[in-house]
Structure 1
């Protein structure tokens, strides 16, 4: 876009025609990839939508009026030019998905009010300019997935790593002091399974046979050369140049699972 050239003007008619019905029956306002340079004030009249997609534009600021979208469950702002988020974002209590990946956000300009999003399950802060992770994010007890890749982080606070429901943490390509620390941060988030030990005499014949089969398999694996280790993969925390758009419905539905 040439210098001084204005972005596309979004009218209320254009916005209304951009509303789609998602698989779960929610109303999604999709204004992604439309060359928008400033937040369209007209969409405040559509504040009853459940999902708002303003990704892949040239937005530099999100106004405090975003708080009018009290029904919002899903907010996608990735691939813009945002340098800060408004404090009012903390009022969106129904929000379970927030993607601000690939912007210009700094730690200083992340509002403390993010810790008020008690229902947030997926948070993507990747590809920004963060030099630290606010420990206050540890208040997001419902968080399942967090993207912190491609920032300037040297440590992940324990308050975030130890979130009770966190299953995936992508912190790749950060300048951690120890080269192995990056993988440790990612590997520290694992789903744990309970193990119960019982005497052999208490097992039924079928269970005993099953355990013996598993034991035989493990014994067989001891004689097989180990395959090269693979780095963790995080398919739900995609970078903006990926097939994110094709997977939005999957993200949406996954985020609602208890």
Structure 2
């Protein structure tokens, strides 16, 4: 005979002391509260006493809900909630006017659970909505005129609104692996990353499983390409390059272009 309803996993209890010890200084001098990979199942209310931080990382936990009290983090510029179990976002998220980075990738968000107030984040530069359950994108996101990077990959999208595709500062749009109905749109997003301006180095242990698989795949492709183009049995010789004043000095530019760091 059943004794009662099965309880979900008991999450880690975050105390104010733990939270204070989890504050880091970011590369630009901001204060970052890093509570990622802590096994948290419920938003820790104690961190509301640290609402003056610039960055908040709650990624790779088991959160299902973000409370309306998130609005207390008015200084927040960077919010990472990826790889949780979020089913909704509070409309109060639209009050975070300083936010320029928002990552809510790899959750359980649907189109209906996206608050319309997202379009109030006028300073947002990077928005990642990938790996969710979105079947459409609100046209109101076309109001994010400062947006430069948008992740929509691995959803259930059949189209993307023109108001979003034509955002004036958008440089990178990743909408891979969506069931687009228009064949032209499928081709357009088959290779949807337009341009990458910056390279960020991270350790493998800090990547979510999806990102790690992608990086490993790209690394394997690069290694295969190197194997195909290299010829170890043949040693290249450039005797004229040993003489700085030789005619070869004028022909070294191509070596610099092809040299990889």
Q: TM-score, normalised by structure 1?
A: 0.73
Distance 1:18 1:80 in 2: 19
Q: 1:177 aligns with which of 177, 181, 188?
A: 181
Alpha-carbon spacing, 1:5–1:84, altered in 2? closer, same or farther (3 Å): closer
SS at match of 1:131: coil
Give how far 1:185 is off: 4.0
Of 167, 170, 178 in structure 1, the residue corresponding to residue 171 of structure 2 is 167
Aligned residue in 2 for 1:119: 123
Q: Which of 20, 25, 28 is the matching residue for 1:21?
A: 25
2:244 paired with 1:240: no
In the TM superposition, residue 4 of structure 1 has moved relative to its aligned partner by 3.7
What is the SS of the residue equivalent to 1:181? Answer: helix
- How far does residue 3 in structure 1 lie from its aligned partner after superposition? 4.9
Taking the aligned partners of 2:199 and 2:138, their CA distance within structure 1 comes to 24
**SS of structure 2 residue aligned to 1:123:** strand
RCO (CA 8 Å, sep 6+): is it higher in 1 or 2? 1
1:173 Cα deviation after fit? 0.2
CA offset digits 1:17-60 (Å, max 9, x no partner): 00000110000000000000000000000000000000000000
2:82 counterpart SS class: coil
* Structure 2 runs not aligned, ≥5 long: 1-5, 214-261
Size of the alignment, in residue pairs?
201
TM-score, normalised relative to structure 2: 0.72
Matched, 1:146 2:150: yes
- Once the two structures are superposed, the pairs formed by residues 170-209 of structure 1 within 5 Å of their partners are 170-185=174-189
Distance 1:69 1:118 in 2: 16
RMSD: 2.4
Q: List runs of 5+ in structure 1 lacking aligned partners.
A: 192-231, 245-258
Superposed counterparts of 1:202-217, under 5 Å:
none
| Cα deviations by residue, 1:162-212 (Å, 9 ceiling, x for unpaired) | 000000100000001144523314668857xxxxxxxxxxxxxxxxxxxxx
The 3 A distance-change label for structure 1 pair 127 and 189 is: closer
- Number of the residue aligned with 1:104: 108
Distance 2:115 2:12 in 1: 29
